Amino acid sequence: MLEIKKIKSLYKKGKSAAEVGKELGISWRKVIYLMDKYGIKRRSRSEAIYYKHNPNGDPFKIKTKLTPQEQCLKALSLGLYWGEGSKYNPISIRLANSDPSLLRTFIKFLRDICGVNPQKIKLWLTIHDDISIEKALNFWSDQLNMPLSQFSKTVVINHRGNATYKNKSFYGTATVCVHNMKLRQIMQKWLEDYAHVA
């Protein structure tokens, strides 16, 4: 029984069956056999990948007790994500816009309500080819108070012949992104709860 307790403890900490077996001096096949025999639930493939990429636990901490102002920030940010966010990628949260104040609000939500490590917030720009990449990066870095090191490669679009070009922001659009499957699922559940209330 002591062996089973150790398996359960190590597996709960995020170690794989192979890692558990290596630590206990038994084969991974025996680890799987004992887990199945004693009803220790095994992780799905996606859960295993998540644990592998987050060995120290979730890189975020949801704030549960919110002030009225924070409740407002949460509701506003979920509305922004509901209307403007990309919900097709199951492992990341993405919101693109040309309005710096809108994106600042969403970043504040990610930091203050979701407790996302600021270094885990990534960005990239989409601009037209007559705009200086350096100027656009400096603009968005300054407006969003985010270091240039957190910006990925800029996407440059050829605007020639584009009749809607004049309606575009001079500095393009910025996309705010957090790659985390679990937080993405939490956000989706919040959206479903808000939709149910509506």
Question: Residue 180: which of 95, 69, 93 has the closest Cα?
Answer: 93
Contacts of 10-17 spanning 24+ positions with Cβ under 8 A: 11/35, 11/40, 14/51, 14/52, 14/54, 14/55, 16/48, 16/51, 16/52, 17/42
- What number of H helices and E strands is found in the chain? 8, 5
- Position 19 scores a pLDDT of 83
Cα 161 to Cα 147: distance, rounded to the nearest angstrom = 34
Whole-prediction pTM: 0.76
Most confident option among 84-88, 89-93, 113-117: 113-117
Cα 132 to Cα 2: distance, rounded to the nearest angstrom = 64
154 sits in the region (left: phi over 0; alpha: psi -120 to 50; else beta) called: beta
Task: Convert the pLDDT of each residue in 141-192 to its tens digit.
Answer: 999 999 999 999 999 988 765 555 555 678 999 999 999 989 999 999 999 8
Domain extents in the chain: 2-43, 68-197
